[in-house]
Structure 1
Amino acid sequence: MTSRSVVIERPGEHRLVTGPRPEPGPGEVLVRVAAAGICMSDREVYDGHRDAAYVRYPVVPGHEWSGTVEAVGAGVDGGLVGRKTVAEGFRACGTCERCRCGDTSLCTAGYDETGFTRPGAFADHVVVPARLLHPLADDADLRAAALLEPAAVVAAAVRAGHAEAGERVAVVGAGTLGLLAVQLLAAASPGELTVFDPRAERAARALEFGATEARTPEEEGELTGRYDLVVETAGAPSTAASSCLLARRGGRVVLTGMFAPGATGIDPVHLSLSQLSVRSVFGAPSSAWSFAVRAFGAGMIDPGPLITHEFPLEEFGDAVACVGGGDPKVGKVLLRP
């Protein structure tokens, strides 16, 4: 049996490789990939802009995915074969102090993640440790489930923000993370749920997903100090600082965007005088994955409408070019092996 995979040999160079189907080792499962999302992190890997400590070339990318268990290795329950599933990307050790406290995204054993340091899901098959699986319902939509990785990141942010009913909440950015955040936050019955994004199309979609109003970044000044909770998802050079200005005194800010060197710093004078609580999120711990999968199964989030483009593996070059190109009509891009 054979299996295909997209291999990025080095920045800017990729090829579609056909070889023997990978086999799961002890404690592992083999999953036939149904769909895999492409995000800006994958674009950074392709362009060579990802921090060298967080990628290992050559690499098969793909950390957002869904599929069906096709085979299991020694020591794994054979009943998993045929189950629809997603899986955590971080290969946390499970034994260090941080893991034992539940903070698996802060594992001290060193960074190791499917699609960056281990072969990912831009392929017909992916092999992952069985302990990282989150099985789905038999009738789960695997196309939509491919977005459960960003949903888990958003779940980590929303849980860290401790959103309460009746609060004024802002979401900065209406990309995939932002729109998923709107869905989860709307379920918490906020008094206001405002989304800030310069793109009218994205703002309109945010209103469909439960936001009470949409604003442009130019309108942030008139809303300084208004919000109990601000969830930043854009990762733009100025959004960490501007999100802190939107929060009221004593408010909470959660940063989920991936910032590049040179981004505007947060004013420490404002931070201390306003007594803000600021958290950042990088990836998602196991608890956030469980939360996102439950929310998906219960219908609290529906990632499907965020998908705008789908490509076969053979067209990976065209697919990755869509991501981060600035076209407001491009939402989530999937590879469909």
Structure 2
Amino acid sequence: MSGGPASSRSIVVERPGAHRLVTAAVPEPGPGEVRVRVFAAGVCMSDREVYDGRRDAAYVRYPVTPGHEWAGTVDAVGAGVDPALVGRRTVAEGFRACGSCARCREGETSLCEGGYEETGFTVPGAFADHLVVPARLLHPLADDADLRAAALLEPAAVVAAAVRAGRPEPGERIAVVGAGTLGLLAVQLLAASSPGELTVIDPRTQRTLQAQEFGATGVGTPEESKELHGRYDLVVETAGAPATAASSCLLARRGGRVVLTGMFTPGAAGIDPVHLSFQQLTVRSVFGAPSSAWDFAVRAFTAGILTPGPLVTHEFPLERYGEAVALVGGGDPGTGKVLLRP
């Protein structure tokens, strides 16, 4: 089933530093696929890395239409797909997991052994009027869902994976390192677990104030956090800064848990193996989100536990993609989540 407009626009990054706005025929969904009319798409540091040419070559394929954080409405379905999906507000998983390898069959779809494929990196993404995705990856939303806020459900799913890995328990002392999009979403989910303390570590005063609005009971700068070493049952690292993997492990108590969620670059400070051994820490890392974490995030969003909307500070049309991507990682503490609104 298809129909609708005759043309569709998309941003194409031809190669690092070079992009253009392309108008072409509206993409048609194939068997097992749906076409989504994109309402909003988030721009994150990974998108900036794609534009700058700093993403590992194994995880991007030029030319590419970026956009892996998005929400929209199904407007056409391919053969074999339930036509009742047309008109549904939705998000969808980004990893094109094979569904049949050992990891997928265990439910760890973000560890798929079938080869890396991801919306917005190796296949066309959501910086476009329309997006085609496999129907099996959809997570339909409520009929009245706020699609502007739902565009942040991809990072929320990553945070959900981290929180589930950390296994927070009521009354625990918890620290979140970093108050960017991931960190502030983590605060919302962790606050729902009734922690005894929920401390956010970030040098940006404006961000830590927002963290308190979302449920943090205390805040501090990286320098101030040195007085908190060995205090926390669970530390969720979200910053991906050169020193934050190592510093997060120092914040954990003996026998504590650390979950690393930030994307680190070569040269980041390593974790001291002596400290790791003597402190008997459990350290986990998260890259992307399995299907179960997506389901968790969507349920939390629907229930009102996750409210990503206040994180959005800037919105641009597709024609101003260059301005949008320049803001991300530009260092302005007033820049939160940046959206493209096709």
TM-score tier (shorter): over 0.9
Name the SS for the 2:158 alignment partner. helix
Partner of 2:336: 331
Matched, 1:12 2:13: no
Q: 79, 83, 86: which is aligned to 1:81?
A: 86
- Give the match for residue 68 of structure 2: 63
Q: Matched residue of 2:302: which SS? A: helix
Aligned match of 1:124: 129
Residues 54-99 of structure 1 show CA distances to partners (whole Å, capped at 9, x for unaligned) of 0000000000000000000000000000000000000000000000
Q: Deviations over 1:6-59 (max 9, x none)?
A: 000000000000000000000000000000000000000000000000000000
**Distance of 1:122 and 1:226 partners within structure 2:** 43
Counterpart-to-counterpart distance in 2, 1:197 and 1:221: 13
- The whole-number CA distance in structure 2 between the counterparts of 1:66 and 1:238 is 33
Count of aligned positions? 337
Deviations for 1:151-188, whole angstroms, at most 9, x for unmatched residues? 00000000000000000000000000000000000000
The whole-number CA distance in structure 2 between the counterparts of 1:113 and 1:39 is 15
* Residue of structure 2 equivalent to 1:107: 112
Partner of 1:302: 307
- What is the aligned-residue RMSD (CA, Å)? 0.3
2 CA distance for matches of 1:229 and 1:317? 39
The one of 260, 263, 284 aligned to 2:265: 260
Q: Partners in 1 of 2:253 and 2:131 — Cα distance?
A: 45
1:31 aligns with 2:36: yes
Other-structure match for 1:184: 189
Matching residue's letter, 1:160: A
Structure 1, residues 204-240: CA drift from partner, whole Å, max 9, x if none? Answer: 0000000001100001211110000000000000000
Q: Kindly provide the amino acid, as one letter, of the partner of residue 134 in structure 2.
A: P
Q: SS where residue 324 of structure 1 aligns?
A: coil
What code does the residue aligned with 1:307 have? V
**1:271 maps to amino acid:** L
Question: Secondary structure of 1:217's partner?
Answer: coil
Aligned with residue 288 of structure 1, among 274, 287, 293: 293
Q: What is the deviation of 1:117?
A: 0.2
Task: Give the whole-Å Cα distance in 2 for the aligned partners of 1:29 and 1:64.
Answer: 17
Counterpart check, 1:244 vs 2:249: yes
1:212 aligns with 2:220: no
1:4 is displaced (CA, Å) by 0.1
Runs of 4+ in 1 over 6 A off after TM superposition: none
One-letter code aligned to 2:258: V
SS in 1 for 2:287: coil
Partners of 2:277 and 2:218 lie apart in 1 by 29
- Is structure 2 residue 222 aligned with structure 1 residue 235? no
In the alignment, structure 1 residue 277 sits paired with structure 2 residue 277: no
Q: Gapped runs of 5+ residues in structure 1? A: none
Query: Counterparts of 1:45-56 in structure 2 under 5 Å?
Result: 45-56=50-61
Task: Output the CA distance in 2 between the equivalents of 1:159 and 1:265.
Answer: 24
* In structure 2, C-alpha distance between the alignment counterparts of 1:223 and 1:32, rounded to whole Å: 47
Q: Secondary structure at the match of 1:253?
A: strand
Match of 2:3 in 1: none
In the aligned structure 1, how far is the partner of 2:50 from the partner of 2:219? 32
Question: In structure 1, what is the equivalent of residue 203 of structure 2?
Answer: 198
Taking the aligned partners of 1:250 and 1:110, their CA distance within structure 2 comes to 35
Structure 2: which 5+ residue stretches go unaligned?
Answer: 1-5
Matched residues in 2 for 1:220 and 1:146: separation?
32
Q: Which residue of structure 2 lines up, in the alignment, with residue 169 of structure 1?
A: 174
Aligned to 2:305, what secondary structure does the other structure show?
Answer: coil
Partner SS, residue 127 of structure 2: coil
Structure 1 counterpart of 2:44, which letter?
C
What is the rounded CA distance, in whole Å, between the counterparts of 2:272 and 2:337 in structure 1?
A: 33
* Alignment-mate amino acid for residue 175 of structure 2: A
State the distance in 1 between where 2:272 and 2:258 align: 14
Structure 2: distance between partners of 1:301 and 1:193 = 16
